[in-house]
Amino acid sequence: MSNAAVTSDDAALRTHLAALLETGESADGRTTFTDYTVETMGSRLRTVYEQCLRETEPAQ
> Which residue range is the domain that position 39 belongs to?
10-56
Domain assignment present for 32:
yes
Look up the pTM and report it.
Answer: 0.41
Containing 60, the helix (H) or strand (E) segment is none
Q: For position 5, what pLDDT does the model report?
A: 72
Q: For position 31, what pLDDT does the model report?
A: 63
Q: For position 14, what pLDDT does the model report?
A: 87
The number of distinct structural domains making up the chain is 1
Domain assignment present for 1:
no
Domain assignment present for 2:
no
**Which amino acid, residue 7?**
T
Q: For position 34, what pLDDT does the model report?
A: 67
Domain assignment present for 3:
no
Domain assignment present for 16:
yes
Domain assignment present for 26:
yes
9-60 pLDDT, tens digit each: 888 888 888 888 888 777 666 666 667 788 888 998 999 999 998 888 776 6
CA atoms within 13 A on the CB side of 55: 6
